[in-house]
Amino acid sequence: MRGSVLRTRGGLSVRLDTRAAGVVLLLAALAAVLAVALIGTGDYPMSPGEVLSTLTGGGTAAQEFIVNDVRLPRVLVGLLVGAALGIAGAVFQSVSRNPLGSPDVIGLGQGAAAGALNVIVLFHGGTYAVTGGAFAGALATGAAVYLLAWKRGIHGYRLVLVGIGAAAVLGAVNGYLLTRADYVDAARAVVWLTGSLDGRDWTQVRPLLVACAVLVPLVLGRGRALRMLEMGDDAAFALGVRVERTRLVLMLAAVLLTAAATAAAGPVAFVALTAPQLARRLTRSAGPNLPAAACMGAVLLVGADWAAQRLFGDRLLPAGVVTGMLGGGYLLWLLVNERKAGRI
C-alpha cells in the first residue's frame, strides 16, 4: 500500500495516502480555477484577474454587483451541489457494494423531484416550500427503498433493483403531475427537472451550506466504518462496526445530502454516479474516497455549467443536460464492463 506514516510525540500514528491526498489537492485546485472561469463567463465577460480583484474588494461597483450578487451564488451552489452529490454517491456505492448504487439510479433524485413537483403543481409554492417538498420526497423514497430491500440485511443488488423500480414508478408520477399543471407551473417544473444553476441566488446557498456543514463532517467521521462495510457485514461486525446503526446513519445522511442538492439545483443527472468512480480511478485506492469524490463532483458540475455556457453558441443549456449526456455514456460503458466481469 502506498503512503507515508505520520507520528506524533505522543505515539499517535496516522497513515496518509500521498497519491489520494495529491489527487484531492489537484481536484480542489481545478474546481477553484473552473469557479473563477465560470464567474467571468456571461454577457459581461471578465478576466480571471478582474474576478479575483473583485472578490477581494478591488472591483468597480458594477463588477461587485455582477460578481457578488449574480454570479458568485450560482458558482457556490454548483460547488456545493457537486460535492454533496459526490459524497452521497460514494456512500451509496460503498453501502451497496455496487457501482450502480447511486442516488439517481435508485430513485432518490426522482423522489425529491416528486416532492418538489407536488409543491409546485398542486400548491404553487415558493423556494422554501419547494425545498421542503424535495426533502420530504427524498426521505420518503429512501425509507421505502430501504424497507423494501431489507431481508436479513441489505444486499447491494437487491437495493439497486428495488431502487430502479421505485425510480420508474416515481418517473410516471412526475409525468402525471406535469400533465395536471397549468402552463406557467409546467414550464417552471420542466426547467427545474432538467437540473440547472441558472438564476440561483443566496436563498439557495444558505440552506445548502448549512446542510453540507452538518452532514459532510458526519459522513467523513464514519469514513473508516464505511470502508469496512465494503468488506461485508460479517467482516465489518468482526472489526467492531455496529453495522446496521452505521449503515442507517450513513444512508440517512446521504439521502439528506441528495435532497438538499436536488432542492437547490434540481435533479442533476449522473454526477452522483460518475464522481465516486472517477475519483477511485484517479486515486487508485480502495474504499469510498470521500474527499476525492466530493472534489470530483464539484469539478464535474461547475465544469458542466461552464461548458453549457461556452460550447453551444448562443444556446445556453442547463448544466443537467451536459451531465446527462456525459453520464449516460459513462453508464453504458459501466454496464458493458460489469457484464464482461459477470456481475450482471
Q: How far is CA 70 from CA 57, 60, 126, 189, 264, in A?
A: 16, 15, 20, 22, 16
CB distance 41 to 54 below 8 Å: no
Interval 73-77 mean pLDDT: 94
- Tally of residues, the chain: 344
For each of the domains in the chain, give its residue range(s) and CATH number, in order of start.
Answer: 4-340 (1.10.3470.10)
User: Confidence band (pLDDT; 50, 70, 90) for 52?
Assistant: very high
**Eight-state DSSP code of residue 154:** B
Where are the alpha helices (H) located in the chain, listed in sequence order? 18-39, 48-55, 61-64, 72-96, 108-117, 123, 127-149, 156-180, 183-194, 202-220, 223-229, 233-238, 243-265, 271-283, 290-310, 319-340
Q: How far apart are CA 29 and CA 31, in angstroms?
A: 5
pLDDT at residue 1, as a whole number? 43
Q: Which of 129-143, 213-227, 288-302, 315-329 has the lowest mean pLDDT?
A: 315-329
* Burial of 30 per CB tally in 10 Å (0-12, 13-18, 19+): middle
- Which has more pLDDT, 47 or 6? 47
Longest dimension (CA), the chain: 68
Q: pLDDT per residue over 227-285, tens digit each?
A: 888 887 788 888 888 888 888 899 899 999 998 898 888 888 889 989 998 998 899 88
pLDDT at residue 290, as a whole number? 93
Interval 32-58 mean pLDDT: 90
Q: How far apart are CA 317 and CA 306, in angstroms?
A: 10
pTM value > 0.75: yes
